[in-house]
Each structure stands twice: as structure tokens, then as C-alpha cells.
Amino acid sequence: MKSHYAIEVISEHFDDLSPVEQEKVIIHELLHIPKSFGGGFRHHKDWVTRRRVDQLHAALIADRLVGPSNG
């Protein structure tokens, strides 16, 4: 059976966040999923960090400003 992942957010915590913070929470949770999509889980210590979340969020914002690439 292929692996499946679900991202769950707690409405009482998530809904009151700003849209920017909501995006960062989703990025954070997506970072826990390994590249192989093999059923494992990536941990905070070496991969899921505030710095990485902020970098990816900045890239998301930059992509929105420039638009999708043609490549």
C-alpha cells in the first residue's frame, strides 16, 4: 500500500492566526513529510526548523510577486 499523509490543524489555534502564520504552519507540517514519501517522518532537530520555514515562506512570497516560471 502506498503511503498517505494527513495534515491536521486544530481550529482553536489555527483559525486565529494571520494568513502569513497559517501559511508557515502548513509549510512546517509539510516539511515533516520525507522526500521519498515512504511513510516516515522528518524531525525538528535536523530538518524542520524556523529558519527553513521562513526561507520557504519567503520563496513563496517572491514567487507570488514574480508569478509562475515558464520552465
DSSP class per residue in 4-71? -------HHHHTTS-HHHHHHHHHHHHHTS-TT-SS----TTTT--HHHHHHHHHHHHHHHHH-----
pTM: 0.80
Answer positive or negative: Cα dihedral of 56, 46, 33, 24.
Answer: negative
The residues near 8 (Cβ < 8 Å, ≥ 6 apart) are none
In tens, the pLDDT along 5-58 reads 889 899 999 999 999 999 999 999 999 888 877 777 777 777 899 999 999 999
Q: Are 53 and 21 in contact (CB under 8 A)?
A: no
